[in-house]
Structure 1
Amino acid sequence: MKNIALLLLLISSIAFSQDELTQVSPREAVHLREIPRHNMLLELGVTQPTGDYGDIARAGLNIGIDYTYQVNKFLGLSAGIRHQYNQFGYLDSDVDENNFITSNNYTTNSVAIGPTYSYTKGRFQLDTFFKGGVAFYNNPDNRVVNGDPQDSIVEVLYTSDAANSKSSSAYIEGGLRFNYYFRRSVQVFFSPQYSTSLGNPIGYNFQGADSTTMTPQEVKTINTSNLMFNFGIKIALSPEYSSGEYRDDSED
């Protein structure tokens, strides 16, 4: 009888210890420790041209749509499309008021794919991403002339150069995304990014001037480079997470 009492006491002690351990170290809910397997992203923001592109372009807007497949909670593969536009802006901000200036905007449509690296802490998630692909351009016809373009004698200061422009080129983009889980299946985010073409697809002729003389026409080719500052929303397309577990929407 004494042995039976000791055995029951031992079993009770083990059960109590296991229950206490469970209470001290509960397992976090899946939506706080994993990333949804399939995600769709929609973002909108401003574009600010950089480098030589900033000589002939001004700020504009961009919109993008991405799909990301999470291989695990740290690595994802993303594919996306993006539309960017920049207003035409003449190189010299002090152009004469008599100059004739067109205003056809630059647009870029791109398709790109690449890796995304993520770090998650509770409801917060940081993404670092890089993508490469191809971009397509509208090559707008712009010009700036000194004087009335109807006159027989005008001085062409700037003109687009179709012969040295390209309709498409290689393209890269990358940046950071600061995400917050608004709901288990929805994140909102802010994302600073940088994008640029490769191969100098935009061509133009420019005639510079100083206080006394005009320089000869100079042919230049440049890349379309933009800083982007976007806000957006990321939506889980299914309840499956990168670990293979499924979201339980009945949890608190």
Structure 2
Amino acid sequence: MMMMTLAILGMAQVKESGDFQIGVFGGGSFPMGTYKSIGQTKTGYFGGLFMDKYFSGNRFGLGVDARLLSHGLVREDSMFFENGFIETSYKNKAKFEHMDFTFGPTYKYEEGSFQLEAFLRGGILMQRFPEYVKSLHYDDAKGNSIVIPLKQTTNDASNKANAWLGLAGLRFNYLLSDNLALFAQADYMQSFGTKFGKKASKFAVEERIAAGTAIESKTFVNNFLDHYEETFSPSKTPYQSLNIGVGVKYILGRKSAEKPVVERPIETVVPAVKPQSKSIQIVVKDKQTGIALSGVTVSVESANYSNKETSNANGEIARINNAQAGEYKIVGEKNGIKTDLMTISANDFTGHDAVIYREIFHDDPRFTLIGETVDCDKNQILPNIATVLTNSSNKSNMSQTSDKEGKFIYQLDQRADYTIVANQSGRYSQTEMVSTQGLDRSKTLYVTLKLGVCNLVAGGNWVLKNIHYDFDKANIRSDAAVILDNVVSIMKQNPSLKIELSSHTDSRGNDAYNQRLSQQRAESAVAYLVSKGIERNRLQAKGYGESRLLNNCGNGVDCSEEQHQENRRTEIKVLAY
């Protein structure tokens, strides 16, 4: 074990390799299996330390683990009867005390400040067993004092034994800094084999099995064979436990994440010259993807210059021409998040390059939704349309009006779902779904969407997207309620609007049944709108069953699931406006 530890310490000195970490831990140890039943062990405690050395790439490594474990015994009270008693005599500490040393591979997965480590170890368990005898004491009919052992340990006289040990577990880490982390871990330990060297490695006991009549407080014992078998039954158990604990670890040689390299034009080394006026070109990029970033307000300040510019589609602000030599402080801001401060010094104005080129990096972990409001019939840009974005999990809302080019921009959290609708009198839109689930922020910055916006006209109709019912059910599901909430908003913005809300099925199943189910679904949708404050006289519920198919998938026609899905729909028809 010392040689393995020294080997890991030696690897820790190799440059450009992975982390080397040392940790201490402790917690509760829960006996399992025969170790709990035969050994009569109670929940105990453990404590120890580990060292891991990761290889280049910082995913796989090797580690050592050393710990102390202790489990107390379930003590049996003395039991008295008419002419004697049963007692248990403990010859040493009434507990199991163990020490282990293990070695094996480790795997690490890291995401931000969180790490998950899995480890597998093999090694030696050094055991110290309790020694005890459970005895039956009684006076026979002749007055003789009889002592009969009922249960006793049968280990080596030293009550010490070694065993091969296996250990497997998980460690959940939270980084407080680049070098310090707190963790919780859970692992399973079990010893293997019956002997280590020439010595038995399992805890062993032998016991007389109860037979005949049970001994109770009023029992008079004449012969122990009336109550117990004459011979002993031996039992052995390996060590088995589930261990749960917490700890702290220190990571050696870990470096902070490097900042993006700023690319600059290759400069020819020339003798130093007197500072002179030059042009300054600033470009803003997204830190996580390196994509040029527009819409960032960049402030440039010096003793004789002060200005703010917004970066264009190429991430550039207007070039500063004939800038006087001196110190310039540059910082960008977008969505309330600032870039790191960058400084141009007087020394940057020396040399023969006519332009000082600098990149600044904006670090916003969110995704950017770039949307566009368009006429749903003509597919032309519609400016000045109010939109509402809703977070599906916490129901928080944000609103924005599209600009003269029909553009609107929202910031989206990672691993989140949203809905977005137009919210303007005289118009309606579908409830569109937007999700960042499964997107990698290090590869993706923008999410795009075209939001179709239509005019409300008498006689007009549209199919509600993304509204679904459970099989053979008519109740409004939570995801369908989100779609109907948009209809509520449209009705409230347009008080003269009256609609028919209809439900349609595909051709599969009984015609009469489909008719009834579609009517029930339409009435459920109308009831939902009424519950949200829409007058009942502005609404009509109509179920059409399979009578208005949009394709040729009638009874007996073999069609794909997509073709049947086209017919299963909920529609809105404008009756008056």
Q: TM-score range by the shorter chain?
A: 0.7 to 0.9
TM-score (norm 1): 0.73
Deviation of the 1:108 alpha carbon:
1.1
Q: 1:203 to 1:182 in 2, by over 3 A?
A: same
Listed one character per residue, the Cα deviations across residues 68-125 of structure 1 (whole Å, up to 9, x for unaligned) are 00113211211121111111226xx797365323352111111100111111110111
1:194 and 2:209 are equivalent in the alignment: no
Does the aligned pair in 1 maintain the 2:22–2:51 contact within 8 Å? Answer: yes
Q: In the aligned structure 1, how far is the partner of 2:98 from the partner of 2:53?
A: 25
Does the aligned pair in 1 maintain the 2:119–2:170 contact within 8 Å? Answer: yes
Identify the match of residue 44 of structure 1 among 15, 18, 26.
Answer: 26
Q: Which amino acid aligns with 1:137?
A: Q
Q: Which amino acid aligns with 1:220?
A: S
User: What are the ranges of 5 or more consecutive residues in structure 2 without an aligned counterpart?
Assistant: 1-16, 139-143, 195-201, 214-226, 259-339, 341-577
- Name 1:209's counterpart in structure 2: 210
Q: 1:147 to 1:177 in 2, by over 3 A?
A: farther
Does the aligned pair in 1 maintain the 2:42–2:72 contact within 8 Å? Answer: yes
Q: Which amino acid aligns with 1:227?
A: L
Deviation of the 1:248 alpha carbon:
7.4
The DSSP-based 3-state class of the residue aligned with 2:43 is strand
1:99 and 2:58 are equivalent in the alignment: no
Q: In the aligned structure 1, how far is the partner of 2:137 from the partner of 2:175?
A: 57
User: What are the ranges of 5 or more consecutive residues in structure 1 without an aligned counterpart?
Assistant: 1-34, 241-245
1:63 and 2:56 are equivalent in the alignment: no
Does the aligned pair in 2 maintain the 1:106–1:137 contact within 8 Å? Answer: yes
1:172 and 2:157 are equivalent in the alignment: no
Deviation of the 1:147 alpha carbon:
4.0
Aligned residues: 206
Deviation of the 1:152 alpha carbon:
4.1
Deviation of the 1:233 alpha carbon:
0.9
Does the aligned pair in 1 maintain the 2:133–2:151 contact within 8 Å? Answer: yes
Deviation of the 1:135 alpha carbon:
1.0
The DSSP-based 3-state class of the residue aligned with 1:89 is coil
- Name 1:218's counterpart in structure 2: 233
Tell which has more relative contact order, 1 or 2 (C-alpha 8 A, sep 6+): 1
Deviation of the 1:39 alpha carbon:
0.3
1:239 and 2:239 are equivalent in the alignment: no
Does the aligned pair in 2 maintain the 1:139–1:202 contact within 8 Å? Answer: yes
- Name 1:53's counterpart in structure 2: 35
Identity %: 21
The DSSP-based 3-state class of the residue aligned with 2:146 is coil
Instruction: Give 4+ residue runs of structure 1 displaced > 6 Å after superposition.
Output: none
1:120 and 2:110 are equivalent in the alignment: yes
Structure 1 or 2: more strand by fraction: 1
Q: Which amino acid aligns with 2:71?
A: N
Which protein has the larger Cα radius of gyration, Structure 1 or Structure 2?
2
The DSSP-based 3-state class of the residue aligned with 1:73 is coil
Q: Which amino acid aligns with 1:229?
A: I
